[in-house]
C-alpha cells in the first residue's frame, strides 16, 4: 500500500466468527436468534469503533481455504458436525446462513466499510495481510479466535465482543478498562507471548481446525529424560540440545505410522502461522485489499441502515441509527 503521512486506525472483523459465535448465546425463535445475532454483532463493532480510535471497519470473509489442498483433514470435523444435524437443525442452520449472506450483501453494497473475500483464503489470511500492508497503523481484531494471538503487538490488539474483553500485548481489560484478574491465581490475566503462543499451537495442533498434534502428550515443562515445549522454544534460535532433543523425538499413531516431531511441526507451521501463506495466496489477498479500498463511496448510509433495521425488526437499533451509521459510513483513508 502507498505510504501515508498520518497513523490510521482500523477495526478488522472476523465476520463469520462474530456472527456465528453470537448465535451460540442467542435464545428464542429462529427469527429472534437472527435478530439478536445482528444486534450483538453491530453493537460489538460500534463499541470497538468508539473505544479504539474510530477506525475504518474492514469485514473479512471466508473462502475455500488453500490449507485443504495441502492437508486433507483440515476442518473435516466441521463437515462431520454439519452432517450430524437433525432435519430441524439443518433447517435452522440454512436460515442462519441465508441471514448471514443477506448481512454480507448489505455491508458490501450499502456501507462504506471495506469487505474482503478471496476465493482460496480464510478471514485469518486477509486480516494478517491487511496488517502486513498497514504495518505503521493501529489495528483492533474483533474476534474470539485465539489464532490471532500470534498477531498481537504494540499496535495490534483484539476485542472479543462476546466477553467484552480487550486483549493487548500488556494484558486483558474489561469493558470498563479495568485489568481482568485470573480467578485462580488472583493475578492480572494475560496471554502468552505471541511468539510462544504460536510455537505451542504448532506443537499441540488445533482441535477446532482438526490439525493434529506434532507431539502428542508433550508437556510444557520437561523432565529429566524429555525436553518440554518451553525449553524447546527457548532454544529455538540456537537450535542446540534442547531443540534437537525435542524435535527429533518419534511417536507412533493408532495406525502404527511413525512420526518425527519436526516433520509434523513444520506441517503445522504452514497451516497455523499467519505469515507463511504461499506467495500466490499473499498476492491474491493483497489484490483483493487494493480492490476493496478503491470502491466508490456509498451515499445515504444512514438511510440504508434504517431500511435494514426495518426489514429485520431491529427497532432498538433503528432508534440509535446515527450511532451505527458513524462506523458504517467511515471511509478508508
Is pTM beyond 0.75? Reply is yes
Averaged pLDDT for residues 303-325? 95
The phi and psi torsions of 60 (rounded to 5 degrees) equal -110, 130
Contacts of 260 (CB under 8 A, 6+ apart): 247, 248, 249, 250
Q: What is the pLDDT of residue 1?
A: 52
Superfamily of domain 9-192+276-328: 5'-nuclease (3.40.50.1010)
Averaged pLDDT for residues 60-88? 90
Q: What is the pLDDT of residue 17?
A: 94
Residue 323 pLDDT level (bands cut at 50, 70, 90): very high
Average pLDDT, the chain: 94
Span 79-136, pLDDT tens digits: 778 888 888 888 988 999 999 999 999 999 999 999 999 999 999 999 999 999 999 9
Domain residue ranges of the chain, discontinuous segments joined by +: 9-192+276-328, 194-272
**Per-residue H/E/C for the chain:** CCCCCCCCEEEEEEHHHHHHHHHHHCCCCHHHHHHHHHHHHHHHHHHHHHHCCCCEEEEECCCCCCHHHHCCCCCHHHHHHHHCCCHHHHHHHHHHHHHHHHHHHHHHHHCCCEEECCCCCCHHHHHHHHHHHCCCCEEEEECCCHHHHHHCECCEEEEECCCCEEEECCEEECCCCCECECCCCCCECCCCCHHHHHHHHHHHCEHHHCECCCCCCCCCCCCCCCCCHHHHHHCCCCCCHHHHHHHCCEEECCCCCEEEHHHHHHHHHHHHCCCCCCHHHHHHHHHHHHHHHCCCCCCCHHHHHHHHHHHCCCHHHHCCHHHHHHHHCCCCC
Span 217-238, pLDDT tens digits: 999 998 888 899 999 999 999 9
Percent of the chain with pLDDT over 70: 98
Span 32-57, pLDDT tens digits: 889 999 999 999 999 999 999 999 99
Averaged pLDDT for residues 169-174? 95
**Cell digits of residue 23:** 448465535
Span 143-152, pLDDT tens digits: 999 999 999 9
Cα separation, 188 vs 173, in Å, equals 9
Amino acid at each position: 500500500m502507498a505510504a501515508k503521512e498520518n497513523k490510521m486506525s482500523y477495526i478488522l472483523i472476523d465476520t463469520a466468527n462474530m456472527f456465528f459465535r453470537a448465535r451460540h448465546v442467542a435464545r428464542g425463535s429462529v427469527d429472534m436468534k437472527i435478530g439478536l445475532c445482528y444486534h450483538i454483532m453491530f453493537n460489538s463493532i460500534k463499541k470497538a469503533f468508539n473505544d479504539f480510535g474510530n477506525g475504518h471497519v474492514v469485514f473479512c470473509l471466508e473462502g475455500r481455504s488453500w490449507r485443504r489442498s495441502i492437508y486433507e483433514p483440515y476442518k473435516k470435523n466441521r463437515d462431520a458436525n454439519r452432517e450430524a444435524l437433525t432435519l430441524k437443525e439443518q433447517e435452522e442452520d440454512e436460515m442462519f446462513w441465508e441471514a448471514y449472506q443477506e448481512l454480507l450483501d448489505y455491508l458490501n453494497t450499502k456501507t462504506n466499510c471495506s469487505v474482503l473475500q478471496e476465493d482460496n483464503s480464510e478471514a485469518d489470511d486477509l486480516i494478517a495481510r491487511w496488517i502486513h500492508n498497514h504495518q505503521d497503523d493501529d489495528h483492533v481484531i474483533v474476534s474470539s479466535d485465539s489464532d490471532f494471538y500470534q498477531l498481537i503487538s504494540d499496535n495490534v490488539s483484539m476485542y472479543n465482543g462476546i466477553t467484552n474483553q480487550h486483549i493487548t500485548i500488556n494484558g486483558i481489560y474489561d469493558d470498563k478498562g479495568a485489568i481482568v484478574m485470573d480467578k485462580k491465581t488472583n493475578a492480572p490475566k494475560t496471554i502468552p507471548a505471541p511468539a510462544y503462543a504460536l510455537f505451542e499451537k504448532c506443537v499441540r495442533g488445533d482441535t477446532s481446525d482438526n490439525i493434529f498434534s506434532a507431539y502428542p502428550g508433550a508437556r510444557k515443562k520437561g523432565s529429566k529424560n524429555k525436553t518440554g515445549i518451553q525449553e524447546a522454544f527457548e532454544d529455538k534460535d540456537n537450535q542446540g540440545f534442547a531443540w534437537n532433543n525435542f524435535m527429533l523425538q518419534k511417536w507412533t499413531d493408532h495406525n502404527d505410522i511413525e512420526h518425527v516431531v519436526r516433520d509434523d511441526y513444520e506441517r503445522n507451521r504452514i497451516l497455523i502461522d499467519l505469515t507463511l501463506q504461499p506467495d500466490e495466496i499473499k498476492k491474491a489477498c493483497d489484490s483483493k485489499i487494493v480492490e476493496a479500498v478503491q470502491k466508490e463511496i456509498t451515499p445515504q448510509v444512514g438511510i440504508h441502515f434504517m431500511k435494514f433495521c426495518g426489514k429485520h425488526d431491529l427497532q432498538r437499533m433503528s432508534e440509535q441509527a446515527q450511532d451505527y451509521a458513524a462506523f458504517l459510513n467511515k471511509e478508508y483513508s
